[in-house]
Copies of this chain bind each other. A is one copy, B any other.
Amino acid sequence: MPSAVLLLSGGLDSTTLLAHALAEGFDVHAMTFRYGQRHATEVSAARRVATAYGVRDHVIVDIDLRTSGGSALTSDLAVPKDRDVADDSSEIPVTYVPARNTIFLSFALAWSEVLSATDIFIGVNALDYSGYPDCRPEYIAAFEQMANLATRGGVDGTNRVHIRAPFIALTKAEIIRRGLALGVDYGITQSCYDPPADGIACGHCDACQLRLKGFHDAGASDPAQYL
């Protein structure tokens, strides 16, 4: 079985991604970040998901993105509620964390090199997302190109890395349908940016709104608990 490193936040997208990668036959090494996020309960969700799927191993990496700041997810800035998430003309929202996916993928790259894993899975999504620059296909392609110049395996050509973002062109509803077909239990996942308690979602932040709309469009009901 080929090995893969998978970025697991414990949310809807990355949990579906895990089910997808396992179904594709990968031996999955999951990586989760405790980065100073206000919704650190997502780390508990990632643990529940990793345990439920019995992944090969699961590391929690501690980094502190409050050092650089600049985001509502890592500071006292208010998380926007009931924003019009369908309005794609709007600015990049304050929940954007500067260079977060680049930092996450860099750690995944380091681990993949040590494991001799050739695939790194990331659950980014360029359609029903929040307008983050580091969720776009051209960004993922540029990271892959850089990654293969950064590492031993890329240089000698023995171990080229592929950044897999299989949901990048799917709607949230399509991701949910795929997950349900793979038997994902969305009740153990957490998407909320501003959860009032572990396992409870606010229902009003961008992440909750996108998730609720996704379930609605998929004609399914969301087993998550909302306030």
Contacts and interface: CB of A to CB of B under 8 A. Distances in A.
Interface in A73-118: 92, 96-103, 106-107, 109-111, 113-114
A114 B70 contact: yes
Interface in A37-72: 59, 61-65, 67-70
A226 to B, nearest CB: 31
A69 to B, nearest CB: 6
A222 B158 CA distance: 40
Contact of A110 (B103, B147, B154): B103
Contacts of A59: 67
Number of copies: 2
A223 interface: no
Interface string A140-177: 00110111011110110000000000000000000000
A102 B147 contact: yes
Given A61-B64, A67-B59, A152-B92, A110 B98 contact: yes
A133 B150 CA distance: 5
Nearest to A70: B114
A67 to B, nearest CB: 6
A110 B149 CA distance: 21
B99 A150 contact: yes
B70 A113 contact: yes
B114 A69 contact: yes
A213 interface: no
Contacts of A99: 106-107, 109-110, 113, 150-151
Contacts of A143: 146, 150
Given A68-B111, A102-B109, A139 B150 contact: yes
A134 interface: yes
Nearest to A135: B150
6 closest pairs, A vs B, by CB?
A: A99-B110, A70-B114, A142-B146, A98-B113, A68-B110, A139-B149
17 contacts: A61-B67, A62-B63, A63-B63, A65-B110, A69-B114, A97-B110, A98-B113, A99-B110, A102-B110, A103-B110, A133-B149, A134-B151, A142-B142, A142-B145, A142-B146, A142-B149, A143-B146
